[in-house]
Every structure is written in structure tokens, then in C-alpha cells.
Amino acid sequence: NAGVTQTPKFQVLKTGQSMTLQCAQDMNHEYMSWYRQDPGMGLRLIHYSVGAGITDQGEVPNGYNVSRSTTEDFPLRLLSAAPSQTSVYFCASSLTGGAPSGANVLTFGAGSRLTVL
């Protein structure tokens, strides 16, 4: 049982390049989400998904795309990277994403550190 797996762990991009951060979970969780962590800002929600085919925007969605074609995977796409997207990105999942309960306690991945030059 691997939990939440993020790849790559580290990535350096040039401004304007595109890339995809991968997130996979093997816990049959319905809910998956992406956060970015910046110094002094805590974690901010980028996008989330409550099931295959259903995604929604969080607090800071601009510059990022997501899709959810399977229960297991929730990739985050940067179509044209900007230096402002330099950050550490965390994927997190929970059994459900509805009303708060013990079923929607988040499990986090180890993070992906992205630098945009």
C-alpha cells in the first residue's frame, strides 16, 4: 500500500515550458487535491476533484489545469510555466470530499519541488 505517490520529486523548468506533475493513490479515494506551499503562505488549494470526471477550482487555480480520468490519478499541468509558479506542490487524497467526517481526513504525498527560471 503506497499511499499517495508524487512524481517527480524535483524539477527545474524554463519560463514558458510545460510539464505535468503526477499524483497517484492506491487507496480507492474519491477525493484528490493539489496544494502549493510557499514560504510564509501556508498551503493553498489549487484544484480538487471529488471523483473521476469531476474537478473544481480552489483558491489559486490560474496557470494550472487538471483532469481526473481515473480514480487513482490526478495530474496537475502547467501549460506555460512562470517564475511565480516556483513552489513545493503537494497532492492529497481522502476517502470522500463531502461533509467533514473521519472519511475525509487528508493523506498527503511527499511533495514535488518545482523551480521555474
Partner 1 sequence: AQSVTQPDIHITVSEGASLELRCNYSYGATPYLFWYVQSPGQGLQLLLKYFSGDTLVQGIKGFEAEFKRSQSSFNLRKPSVHWSDAAEYFCAVFFPRGSGYSTLTFGKGTMLLVSP
Q: For partner 1, give the closer residue by CB, 17 or 106.
A: 106
Burial class (CB in 10 A: 0-12, 13-18, 19+), 15: exposed
Rounded to whole angstroms, the Cα distance separating 34 from 44 reads 8
Q: For partner 1, give the closer residue by CB, 9 or 77.
A: 9
Do 96 and 30 contact (CB within 8 A), yes or no? yes
Which residues contact partner 1 (rule: CB under 8 A)? 31, 33, 35, 40-45, 48, 50, 56, 58-59, 90, 92, 97-102, 104-106, 108-111
**Least distance in Å: CB of 93 to partner 1?**
12
Do 24 and 73 contact (CB within 8 A), yes or no? yes
Q: For partner 1, give the closer residue by CB, 17 or 107.
A: 107
